[in-house]
Amino acid sequence: MRGWSVSITIQEAGRTVLSEQGLPLPARLIRDGDSGAVALIDGAGVAHPLAQNRFDVSRQHMTLSAEADGTLLIADQSTNGVFVSQQNTARLIGKGNTMAIPAQLQVMLDTVGFDIRVQSQPPRAPRANSNLHAEVRLAGKLHRVALDRTPLVVAGGALAGGYSYDRHGDLNGILAALGSRVALVIAPDHSGHMHAVATTGLAAQLNRRQIGQNQPEPVAHGVLLTFEGGHLHLIRAGADRQLACVNDTCLMLNDYKPGQNCVYCGTRLGDAHTRFIG
């Protein structure tokens, strides 16, 4: 079971720079000393960029962590101060001090123009992946990956091995571990939902819809992901048979009705490939 996390939203001058999301702890608000770039580094080591040229933010500005009972700890390491707002009153934590916030109590933080809403979240047991498998075709070879045991990682036009959930955790942890070496990852996010991420340099489509680079896309049974050099189908083990259209511009999965045509492109399904993972 994962530890406590934090639900967090950050605004700068009324503009949202980090949309509400749950992040693993500890999380650190930092500034790059030379460029003035400000980022929040979550507990998986993933950097969430927030602003540029903000030299009023300290290099090590603030750290969020949690105790075993979910008490949120806010450590002020800044020169310019971190204020905690509760019940219409603002209180300065003070450099070198830590303030404890009861578990799951939402508070507002104000520091050098950043408005930060935080709330600790209880641990969540990893969700079952519904026996989801990936059938991947790369360089003409067919591979199958059971996604309840290992993430799917494509790098250098081949499946990459050695990246386990036990070692690297969720999607953010895997991406942080791989860096620029990876082109495509399918893994659960922090809440256990399966997502696909195509990283910089890989043009990919999800069910024939172009997806943004480095933007997690939710995936489930029946999804087709196409990219340069290959494609993959996501299939739930034990599901009814599916028919994969043989039209190279389609390839979508259909219900098992061999006498009918593909509902996406009209190609006759009598020539389709049967897909079933037991």
**H/E/C letters for each residue in 208-246?**
CEECCCCCCEECCCCCEEEECCEEEEEEECCCCCEEECC
Residue 271 in this model has a pLDDT that exceeds 90: no
pLDDT greater than 90 at residue 273? no
Conformation bin of residue 85: beta by default, left when phi > 0, alpha when psi is -120 to 50: beta
pLDDT tens-digit series, residues 44-63:
888 899 999 999 999 999 99
Looking at residue 184, its amino acid is L
Alpha carbon distance 154, 146 (integer Å): 15
pLDDT at 177: 75
pLDDT digits (tens, 9 = 90+) for 111-131: 999 999 999 988 765 554 557
CATH among 2.60.200.10, 1.20.840.10, 2.30.40.10, 3.30.450.90 for 5-121: 2.60.200.10
pLDDT of residue 1: 42
Closest CA to 176 of 43, 61, 50, 52: 43
Domain ranges of the chain: 5-121, 132-239
Beta-carbon count within 10 A of 165 CB: 19
Q: Which of 256, 249, 260 is nearest to 235 (CA)?
A: 256
Q: What pLDDT does residue 128 have? A: 46
More confident residue, 222 or 164: 222
SS (H, E, C) 140-194: CEEEEEECCCCCEEEECCEECCCCCHHHHCCHHHHHHHHHHHCCEEEEECCCCCE
What does the pLDDT look like over 136-145, one tens digit per residue? Answer: 888 778 888 8
pTM of this prediction exceeds 0.85:
no
Peptide bond just before 26 cis, omega within 30 deg: yes
Q: Matching CATH topology for 5-121 and 132-239?
A: yes
Q: What is the pLDDT of residue 167?
A: 64
**Averaged pLDDT, 244-265:** 89
Q: What is the mean pLDDT of the chain?
A: 86
What average pLDDT score do residues 9-38 get? 92
Mean of pLDDT values over 182-204:
83
Q: In this structure, which topology does domain 132-239 adopt according to CATH?
A: Tumour Suppressor Smad4 (2.60.200)
Q: What pLDDT, on the 0 to 100 scale, is given for residue 73?
A: 97
